[in-house]
Structure 1
Amino acid sequence: MSMDPFTIEAVVRQLRKLLPGAAVGKIHQPGPHDLILRLWTGRGNLRLLISAAPRASRIHLTTEVYPNPQAPPRFCQLLRSRLGRLLEIERVPGERIVRLVFADSENRFWTLVAELLGPRANLILLDPSGRIVDALLRVEGEGRTILPGKPYLPPEPLLRSDLQEGVPPIPADVPLRAWLLQTVTPMTELLAADIEAAVDAGEEAQEALEKLRRRYLNFDFSPCVGLWQEKSILSALTPEHLSLESLQTFADVSRAADAFYAEAGGEELFGGGKEALERIVRKGLQRLEKRLANIEAEESKARGFVRQRELGDLLLANIHRLRRGLAEVVLDDWYADPPVPVTVPLDPALSPQENAECYFRRHRKGKRGLEHIERRRGETLAESQWLEGVLLGLDEAEEEGEIEAIREELVAARLLQKRPGPPVRNRPALAETAVRQAITPGGYTLFWGRNNRSNDHVSRTLTRPDDLWFHAANMPGCHLVLRRKGEGGDVPEADVLFAAAIAAAHSRGKDAGKVEVMVAEGKWVRKPKGARPGLVTVEHYRTVVVRPQTISS
């Protein structure tokens, strides 16, 4: 999620207070799209992050530590030679473009233009005359040309009404949210939905938009991070009528942005080494843990739907005692043992039959909501189980190819962006190269995976219906298969325990004294349709308890 105009404006206003006159210390380029400027303000060092990442273009102060390449890239070297002291910071009105003006040691002025435009994001350095010195991403072809020596031409301006200039009249009978997003700047999907919710609650649309404008003009920012419609959201303004899951509020917008992009994997957008991938996976697990807690809270509220049906039944059973105009009625509640009087609220404007139907409607709505909650819980638990497997795979990874397989798995799950550059050709299948092999004392061949993808390969490709399949019970672990010999027959228990001990050694319980391991025939191991790599269901199995044992494979 790239930074929206509201948040960019909030950051710019924060930076104007802290950074004018700051001396540029170090400049680093930790990733292909990211810059870190270390600035001395006279009171201490601050680190300014500017990113042109297509899915995470942004600007904010950061406390995160980013690994840097041994040699600074071309654009980073250029900035080091030009930028001495930060003089001005401004946002181009109505746009997601920030201009930072610097002076060098000879008091010449250089402008760093941060075009935070999502897929079209770029960082461009201009000389004192306004010509392009260079850009992070050089562009040549149709449309704008961004090359050294060319005059800088800004993107075509958005033809929208700027909130700083006033609130445009809202036409009648238009889809409000779509109109706001197409007509007003700055505006976000979340805040447009919040205005729509205000109107649904009885507020006039024009007044709701004017209220948002006043918050904007008065710098009444309330930065927050949360979940909305199953998506992580960063907003400079906390919505007033919508509720966000896992809501966190922050003292300043840079702290909110730092937390949001770190949790979203922004610290290593393309992945880094093993440690960087582990950080991304752990933050993903923390996010799922918070989501699960919210699901539990929603479930406790939704459980009341059964009571709505009971009250509807009581009304129908006593409908001869009811009449239009009653605000409530006291009935005997035969669902209690023994029955007790219960006061049932009514809508005086409705008939007795309509009041009963209201309770049945709430029951049906609550039942559907509970079904949705159960589905979300299952999806969340499955995703958490998958990420636990990814984490174990990273722990087991010893070779660069195994780490690369996990990185590709995270890219496929959209937790990372694909690294730029041409694809690697003639590379062996990573799932197959990560499979390990050994022989039991009885001469049976064992295969097991080292990550989710190789586990998938073991269970789906290498496991035959009569083979024995092993997995540590109730914890992340490798998929291990014992290949039966051609003549069939029972596998000696000593070989079963040997295989189980290896499966235990390549699980989250590897440091435990004893581990319970599932043993199933291959025909009972199935992968659900659409499931993540490494996730299977096992219909019939037995368990053995073994001490984890590693061997040279």
Structure 2
Amino acid sequence: ELVSAAMWSTAQYLWSIGSGPVYRWTRGQTRISIVAPDSQMEALQFPSVCAALADAGETAADAAADMNGQRRRLEYVRRVLERRVADLQKDLDEADDVDLLDRVGNSLMAATDHIAAGTKGVIPDVHDAHGEATLEIELAPGVTAAQQAARLLRRAAKLRRRANVLPPRLHRVRELIFETEQLLDALLDEDTIAEEVMTRWERRVEVRQSAAVEVRQGATLPGETAGGTGGSTEGRHGAHPRRYLTSTGWSVWAGRNNRENDIVTHRLAAQNDVWFHAHGYAGSHVILRREGRKQEPSRQTLEEAAAVAAYWSKGRTANKVPVVYTLAKYVSKPKGAVPGLAVMKRERTIMARPALLAEEERQT
């Protein structure tokens, strides 16, 4: 369903004229051609139409997952802002009592000689909120009329300041809610929002970064339930990384998007798994899984895993890509950092030609 009828029509035409390099444009609508693109156009080369269509489908699935995560983050921001509006409105409503508090405080101050500490007394010429009767006040034990009057006047002064400050704040938060809803509308139109725009927006509305990150990492792919599907390790984390096998039988896992990169690196990887990433390019976090092995991976195994990291990166069209690797225990995520960001140490670099391996059969 991810591949449109137009794409199938193009595929049938390409199949009918033989094999050879196939190109897929990376911007705008999905376009596949056997004609090499202009040097200024951004396109990826594939060995076959099937490979190009499979990549287009995976790209569309990744975009859908990112869009779903962004929607959840924006909905979380909207809920935070709506709570702020409710709190500000409550504080503003309390400020309506400022005039009454002023009158009571001033009248009580004038009547200090008539009301003893800890007793009940009537304050003349001061009516209740309905204006129907004189106001009766009861002082707490040990509290004099002067002390109570001072408290009331301080409270009135505080509410008066609040009445001046809160309306502009309330208006501002309501504007932020409106702008958040505009971003949500953009997602309904299937316009993916750039990650840096999302991060700036969360900072602008002052949403706690730790909470925002939890929402990002908690987003599930379309069709998944919270916590993943099935009983597999990666399924319980709501992630389904690409899985391959090296020629020597080692498992290689690659994240499909920034959210999965976080899960692969910080939840699924064992301490001594080997972690890979294309140096200088955005791309997948890749792990070479030891699965209990005590021996070190061979040079060939490292190169094959690095080739996967190079392939699932923006450097895929390069002849060779520098790939850094280190043990997973030396990879960390700064507190509050955006999804996919990682800091490593003790890394080494290997030059790899972008390539894929045989897919690992999933266990059910």
Task: Pick the TM interval, shorter chain.
Answer: 0.3 to 0.5
Normalising by structure 2, report the TM-score. Answer: 0.43
| Structure with greater strand percent | 1
Where is the helix percentage greater, Structure 1 or Structure 2?
2
User: Relative contact order (alpha carbons < 8 A, sep ≥ 6): 1 or 2 greater?
Assistant: 2
Task: Name the TM-score, length of structure 1 as normaliser.
Answer: 0.31
Q: Which has the larger radius of gyration?
A: 2
